[in-house]
Amino acid sequence: MLKLALAGNPNCGKTTLFNALTGSTAYVGNWPGVTVEKREGKYKKLGETVDIVDLPGIYSLSPYSPEEVVSRNFLLDEKPDVIINIIDATNLERNLYLTTQILETDIPVVIALNMMDEVERMGDKVDAQLLSRKLNVPVVEISALKGKNIHELMKAAKAAAGSKREAYTVLEKSELAPIAEKAAKLLSESDISDPLFHAVKLIEGDELEVKAHKEAAKEVAELKEGHTSELFGDDFEAFVADARYRYITEELSCAVTKAERKEKLTRSDKIDKVLTSRIWGIPIFIAMMFLIFHVTFAEDFLYLNALYGVQVQGWEQWWEPGSYVIDGGIPSPGVLLQSCLVWCTDSLSALAASGLANAPAWVSSLICDGVLAGVFSVLSFLPQIALLFLFLSILEDSGYMARVAFIMDRIFRKFGLSGKSFLPLLMGFGCSVPAIMASRTLEHDQERRMTIYMTPWFSCTAKMPIYTAIAAAVFVGNDDLVVFGMYLLGIVCAILGALLLRNTLFRGQTAPFIMELPAYHLPQAKSLFIHLWDKVKKYVIRAATIIAASTIVIWFVSNFNWSYHMVDSIEDSIVHDLGSVISWVFYPLGFAIGEYGWVFVVAALTGLIAKEEVVSTMTVLGIAIGALGAEAGETTAIEALFTVSGITTPAVIAFMAFNLLAIPCFAAVGAARAELGKGRSFKGALLWWTASAYIVSMMIYLIGSFWWTAFIFAVIIAAAVTLIVLWNKGKLKLPGKKQKKA
Amino acid sequence: MEKILKELKPGEQGVVKRVGGDGAVKRRLFDMGVTPGAPVKMRKVAPLGDPIEVTLRGYELTLRKAEAENVTVVISE
């Protein structure tokens, strides 16, 4: 079967092309050993099925980022039949830089000249035939967005497969040509494929190549000995990079004819002027974030009820019971969708209950109180999660996310991070797992580690149900404020935590920040929905598998005693004993105190399996308790739980804070382990999350309950900060003194 | 006249003359097209005063002032 690889810069339309080619056959996995996303799919319209691998978006085949190394290894080791190099025709110069490196391999190459419609719209021209002649490879003009010419592209690729292409390097005309030639000859004599590629990398002094080809590296080093150029001295990396760009501007730029611009500013420029404006840039960003949260979570949309008393009558009959819609105001789209779903799942539950009326008690209990209650309570948050993801993808695809990094970098640098780590951190609002994986794009090891440590505190959508469910039960009418407050708490903790780490364990240089700001694009519905569908699917699968399974376990331990007999009262159950045994550990956090304190302890612990579990545990246990208490009836299980347990407000907040900050779900821990390795930094992360969650929740509870404890904490914190500052200053002074003596 | 890239005022243009810095930073600058001879135009400074945004080889590039320190630019009068 034919195997094609798609290679190109970020933002060149590569993903759009991949989606257009492969459609529903796409499969997202990981590159072996690293957590860079690997997308594979099939193209079926050529008569034979063709395998397509989408390489990560890269600017170069240098050895500095995992994406580049992965792409390089794939091209060299797995040998695709053809490389399809996608080039953004509106930005030929920089895009061709990667092409000059790809052409150094022996693999047949077809160039896809993308965004030709954009070029035409601006009145410019790009001569594809001229490019094809100069580069000696087929060039096909396409528009990935409109699906134009992509079948022709695949036909050209099929024709190129199996043909022989002579490797070409831009060094051919330079003074380094003899060295490249000799090195390539040497390598091909020892049966190494793509000799020219390796030879040029050896001249550059590429670390990976020098390690892989020790013999040849020695020879090349000897050849290089004594060779200095006027401009670059003995900096061969600079020489090669310059030769590439020189070749592009001198030989290839003639393919582009730019039209006279009537207007000085493009549309993208005009948008950018506002969005990154000195005065409005930051307020617009904050407003946008607030709007996204408001549209997703607010129960009084646009505050119409609070401000103008706009109310809708007659909701009640539709949304009761178990709905989170309060009386009165118009709910936001997110809440509205959620209510619809809750209505559907409630109907299903009622149907199941009546269908199982004659079944044995344990069967109907297992299905209704266990599986359905748990899974449905998790599923009910799907609309809001999907909306949030949709908004984040729109920001990402439109090019605004990169601007956010640009705007925020100054702030993040203070904490040893860069504006770039803002992207993974912001994704943390969606899900910690992809967010932790996205930290791969950070080149600097220290920045990556710190980002991973902070990511779970950017409260993920699975933690959101904890706040909304609790807010609906305890802080009626202030739901969006409570949710916003918890998100804010997470961010504040992340900032303080980063500052603390930066001044203690993670001192040293900050990471470089050199990135492209892509032109603004209208996000494309198709790719938005492919992305969204992927997330929704994963969430539903998780609800149906791991969450359903653990719900059954929790149902079992809460309905049975140690001799496996079903119990009438939860106080005789296994879970009661388990929770009681360890709940003393959580006494300082407040929520473990009291007759039903163990319920919250168990809920927080099951949150380690998946954060969605916290809500489903509280629901399952709440039903059991609601059966005990007289408060049951009209209220939801969680409401009953909070009323019956008599938990205090500071303890409720401490409980939410603990869930926010503690070790994230198993999946996220797995991702963190993949990124950090098994060693000290991974164990450190677990300790970091646990300790911070415990301390912060304790402070919230104690200060909330006994205000004077604030002074004690203030003194402790002040002492710690003074110590750290003194220690850092002391460290700085010592070498200074020595220098003076010398 | 020679200037360091970060000293350019918004709207000011020049041609890259030298690129310094250590391994990864320098290579990254090269890969993104900051090589000697490349025309570069300062576009703007971020709202908080850093990083900066420049136009280069037909696209927008952002980098910090600390990294722009490594790039020397010649400005023709």
Q: For tokens 């969680």, what's the residue?
A: A638
Tell whether A51 and A95 lie within a shared domain.
Answer: yes
Tell which wins on pLDDT, A173 or B7: B7
Residue A26 is predicted with a pLDDT of: 80
Q: How far is A163 from chain B (nearest CA, A)?
A: 30
How far is Cα A205 from Cα A201, in angstroms, rounded to an integer?
Answer: 6
Sheet holding A109-114, edge to edge: A27-30, A37-43, A50-54, A2-8, A82-88, A109-114, A139-141
pLDDT band for position B46 (cuts 50, 70, 90):
very high
Residue from B5, B40, B50, B60 to probe the interface with A (highest A Cβ count within 10 Å): B60
Alpha-carbon torsion angle A676, A677, A683, A687, nearest 10? 20
Tell whether A16 and A61 lie within a shared domain.
Answer: yes
Residue B60 to residue A516, Cβ atoms within 8 A = yes
* A388-434 per-position pLDDT tens digit: 778 878 888 888 888 988 988 888 887 778 877 877 787 788 778 77
Residue from A99, A236, A514, A515 to probe the interface with B (highest B Cβ count within 10 Å): A514
* Residues of A whose CB is below 8 A from B38: 245
Residue A321 is predicted with a pLDDT of: 42
Tell whether A181 and A156 lie within a shared domain.
Answer: no
Residue A626 is predicted with a pLDDT of: 65
Q: Looking at the domain assignment, is residue A492 inside a domain? A: no
**Is B46's Cβ below 8 Å from some Cβ in A?**
yes
How far is Cα A295 from Cα A394, in angstroms, rounded to an integer?
Answer: 14
Q: Looking at the domain assignment, is residue A99 inside a domain? A: yes
CATH label of the domain that carries residue A101? 3.40.50.300
Residue B31 to residue A411, Cβ atoms within 8 A = no
Residue from A92, A406, A521 to probe the interface with B (highest B Cβ count within 10 Å): A406
- Does the N-terminal peptide bond of residue A523 adopt cis geometry, omega within 30 degrees of 0? no
Measured CA distances, A393 to A357, A401, A523, A530, A562 (Å): 45, 9, 8, 11, 49
- Does the N-terminal peptide bond of residue A321 adopt cis geometry, omega within 30 degrees of 0? yes
Q: Is A448 exposed, middle or buried (0-12, 13-18, 19+ CB in 10 A)?
A: buried
SS3 A700: helix
| Cβ-defined contacts of A322-329 (< 8 Å, 24+) | A322/A346, A322/A636, A324/A299, A324/A468, A324/A469, A324/A472, A324/A479, A325/A299, A326/A299, A326/A300, A326/A476, A326/A477, A326/A479, A328/A300, A329/A299, A329/A300, A329/A301, A329/A303, A329/A304, A329/A305
Residue A97 to residue B31, Cβ atoms within 8 A = yes
Q: Which residues of chain A have pLDDT under 50?
A: 319-326, 630-632, 732, 734-742
**Is A631's Cβ below 8 Å from some Cβ in B?**
no
Domain boundary among A226, A257, A288: A257
SS3 B55: strand
Residue A150 is predicted with a pLDDT of: 92
SS3 A515: strand
Q: How far is B73 from chain A (nearest CA, A)?
A: 15
Q: Looking at the domain assignment, is residue A730 inside a domain? A: yes
CATH label of the domain that carries residue B31? 2.30.30.90
* Residues of A whose CB is below 8 A from B29: 514
Tell whether A160 and A251 lie within a shared domain.
Answer: no
Per DSSP, the residues of A651-671 read: HHHHHHHHHHHS---HHHHHH
Residue B36 to residue A242, Cβ atoms within 8 A = yes
Residue A313 is predicted with a pLDDT of: 58
Q: How far is B55 from chain A (nearest CA, A)?
A: 10
Residue B25 is predicted with a pLDDT of: 86
Q: Looking at the domain assignment, is residue A718 inside a domain? A: yes
Residue of A nearest to B57 (CA): A93
Domain boundary among A214, A241, A257: A257
Contact predicate A642/A474, CB 8 Å: yes
Q: For tokens 């404006």, what's the residue?
A: A277
Strands A50-54 and A2-8 turn out to be: parallel
Residues ≥6 apart with Cβ < 8 Å to A603:
A613, A614, A617, A618, A621
Domain membership of residue A233 as a residue range: 171-257
Residue B58 to residue A90, Cβ atoms within 8 A = yes
**Is B31's Cβ below 8 Å from some Cβ in A?**
yes
Contact predicate A140/A111, CB 8 Å: yes
Structure tokens at A527: 């790719």
Q: Looking at the domain assignment, is residue A312 inside a domain? A: no
Measured CA distances, A223 to A194, A208, A209, B72 (Å): 20, 19, 16, 31
**Is A208's Cβ below 8 Å from some Cβ in B?**
no
Tell whether A91 and A227 lie within a shared domain.
Answer: no
Contact predicate B61/A515, CB 8 Å: yes
CATH label of the domain that carries residue A194? 1.10.287
Tell whether A24 and A137 lie within a shared domain.
Answer: yes
Tell whether A94 and A11 lie within a shared domain.
Answer: yes
**Is B64's Cβ below 8 Å from some Cβ in A?**
yes
From chain B residues 7-26, the ones with a CB under 8 A of any chain A CB are: 19, 24-26
How far is Cα A89 from Cα A519, in angstroms, rounded to an integer?
Answer: 13
Instruction: Quickly count: other Cβ atoms within 10 Å of residue A310's Cβ.
Output: 15
Number of domains in chain A: 3
pLDDT band for position B59 (cuts 50, 70, 90):
very high
Q: Looking at the domain assignment, is residue A90 inside a domain? A: yes
Contact predicate A285/A456, CB 8 Å: no
Q: For tokens 């090349």, what's the residue?
A: A220
Q: What is the ipTM of this complex?
A: 0.95
Q: Which of B28, B58, B63 sits opposite A93 (nearest CB)?
A: B58
**Is A246's Cβ below 8 Å from some Cβ in B?**
yes
Chain centroid to Cα A707, Å, comes to: 39
Residue A543 is predicted with a pLDDT of: 74
Q: Looking at the domain assignment, is residue A133 inside a domain? A: yes
Q: Looking at the domain assignment, is residue A698 inside a domain? A: no
- In angstroms, how far is the first alpha carbon of chain A from the final one? 70
Structure tokens at A416: 């040893």
Residue B31 to residue A443, Cβ atoms within 8 A = no
Report helix, strand and coil shares of chain B as percent, to nearest 5. Answer: 20, 40, 40
Domain membership of residue B16 as a residue range: 2-74
**Is B74's Cβ below 8 Å from some Cβ in A?**
no
Domain boundary among A142, A168, A194: A168
Q: For tokens 């601007």, what's the residue?
A: A403
Tell whether A67 and A181 lie within a shared domain.
Answer: no
Tell whether A116 and A17 lie within a shared domain.
Answer: yes
Contact predicate A245/B38, CB 8 Å: yes
Number of domains in chain B: 1
